[in-house]
Amino acid sequence: MRNFLVEPPNIDFLRIRKVGYLLSLGLLTLSLILFFTKGFNLGLDFTGGTSIHIKMSSPSSTSSIRSALKEVKLDDALIQEIGTGKTEFEIRVSIKKGGSSQVVQKVKSALDRSFHGNYEIRKVEFIDALVGDEMRKASIYSLLFVMVGILLYVGYRYEPTFALAAIIPIFHDAIITLGVFSFLGREIDLTVVAAILTVLGYSLNDTIIVFDRIRENIKIRGRKSLESIINRSINENLGRTVITSGTSLFAVISIFLFGGDSLNSFALALLIGIVFGTYSSIYVAAPLILEMERLIKSRVIKEKPINPEVK
């Protein structure tokens, strides 16, 4: 264990790349199907509305809270438990029911009647529908901004083929992370978008370290046996890739397990993102360089007969 992967293994990653492609395509398709059929459970940040976080002094249930809210005609509110203690709940009321002051007052009066003040309002959040729309747009823009930024930077530091090969897996990671959130029905709020942005940067970090090695090996050995160079580079870096993903996962899992509810979704998105980011930098990004090079070569060969005289 202490010395695992010190000796680079000799795994033929490129030979099994078809398996990787199939797996990735499968997950991507599944994610996209989920996007359109199940959709997303969007958080308050995007939908707007009022969210009230209460803590009861004795265990209760969502149904008893719902029946309490019936009196103020708010029983169609979304009520969910926070944590596992059966004492903390979130009541979310749609923006159509009015501003936060009215909603909070109604909820208070209903809870006072049913629970006689044995509760505490810990947090109230109100977001106007206008802001929700803006946040949605801002999230999409910022994801695009990061992608373009990365594309330009990698294109500048490496070669255009490398840049494209780096950006495709990143899309892949973001889509799959969102797909898992859709599948689990977990709420997507701004912190999740932040986590996905971070994953974009992080996943690329992994990819770049492999690319850097490929670039170095190309310098030493030339472009001819690209396949074996890529294989060799992935294998040489495997120890590092596994270790740094591991240490990052230590941090993320700590936040996921101990960090409390407010950071839970954030940590989950990072967790999924880092796992798939590591996978994609090995199984998707590096093989894509090979595919791109082949694509370019075949173009060049096809174009040759058109101008046979030109030398």
Partner 1 sequence: MRVDIKVKLLVLFVVFSVISYLMITKSPKLGLDIQGGVSITLKVDIDKVIKDQYIGLGKDVEKKLEGKAEILSTKLEEEGVLISLLDPTKLYVARETIQKELPQVLVESRESNLFVKFTEWEVQRIKTATIKQAVETLRNRIDQFGTLSANIAQKGKDRVLVELPGVVDPDRAKAIIGKTAQLELKEVVDSSYSKEELLSKYNNSIPENLQLLEGVEETVEGKKVKEWFIVRRVPVITGAMLKDARASMDQGGNPAVNFELTSEGATIFGEATQNMIGKRLAIILDDKVMSAPVIRSRITSSGQITGKFTTEEANDLAVVLRAGALPAPVSILEEQVIGPTLGKESLDKTLIAGIVSFILVGIFMIFRYAVAGFISVVALVFNLLALWATMLMFDITLTLPGIAGIILNIGMGVDGNVVIFERIKEELKAGKTLRVSIEEGFKRGFNAIFDSHITVIIAALALLEFGNAPLKGFAATLSIGTFINLFTAIFLTKLFLDLVLGGRKHFKYAV
The residues in 120-139 that bind partner 1, with binding defined as CB under 8 A, are 120-128, 130-131, 138-139
73 or 122: whose CB is closer to partner 1? 122
Which 38-57 positions form the footprint of partner 1 (CB under 8 A)?
Answer: 45, 53
At closest approach, how far in Å is the CB of 213 from partner 1?
Answer: 7
Choose among 126, 125, 124, 122: nearest CA to 55. Answer: 122
CA-CA-CA-CA dihedral for 198, 199, 201, 202, to nearest 10: 120
Contact set for partner 1, span 157-176 (CB under 8 A): 157
Helix (H) / strand (E) containing 273: helix 264-280
Least separation in angstroms between CB 84 and partner 1: 14
Using CB under 8 A, which of the segments 13-21, 24-32, 140-148, 283-291 binds partner 1? 140-148
**How long is the chain?**
311
Tokens read off for 261: 């509810």
- Listed in sequence order, the DSSP H helices in 185-225 are 190-221
Given 38, 260, 295, 297, the residue binding partner 1 (CB under 8 A)? 260
Shortest CB 227 distance to partner 1, Å: 21
Is residue 104 within 8 Å of residue 52, measured between CB atoms? Answer: yes
Cα dihedral 201, 207, 212, 214 in deg (nearest 10): -170
Q: Take residue 268 and report the two structure tokens written for it.
A: 């989950």
* Between 191 and 231, CB nearer to partner 1: 191
For residues 77-116, which are near partner 1 according to CB under 8 A? 99-101, 104
Identified binder of partner 1 from the candidate list 41, 114, 161, 198, rule CB under 8 A? 198
Between residues 74 and 252, which has the closer beta carbon with respect to partner 1?
A: 252
Q: Which of 44, 30, 47 is nearest to 183 (CA)?
A: 30
Return the C-alpha torsion angle 98, 100, 105, 109, nearest 10.
80
Q: Which is nearer to partner 1, 29 or 102 (CB)?
A: 102
269-298 residues near partner 1, rule: CB under 8 A? 270
Map tokens 């709020």 to a residue: 189
Minimum CB separation from partner 1 for residue 255, in Å?
5
Antiparallel, parallel or unpaired: β 49-56 and 88-93 = antiparallel
Which is closer to partner 1, CB of 5 or CB of 34?
5
What residues numbered 174-193 form the site for partner 1, per CB under 8 A? 190-191
Smallest separation (angstroms) from partner 1 to the CB of 214: 11
Taking the C-alpha atoms of residue 173 and residue 31, their distance in angstroms, rounded to an integer, is: 11
CA distance 194 to 142: 10
* Size, binding site for partner 1 by CB under 8 A: 75
Which residues in the chain belong to E strands, given as ranges?
41-42, 49-56, 78-81, 88-93, 119-127, 187-188
Interacting positions 3-32 with partner 1 (CB under 8 A): 3, 6-7
58 membership: H or E segment, kind and range: none
Tell the smallest beta-carbon distance from residue 253 to partner 1 (Å). 8
Binder of partner 1 out of 204, 271, 272, 289 (CB under 8 A): 204
* Contact pattern from residue 210 through residue 229 relative to partner 1, giving x for each residue in contact according to CB under 8 A and a dash for the rest: --xx--x-------------
**222 vs 260 by CB, closer to partner 1:** 260
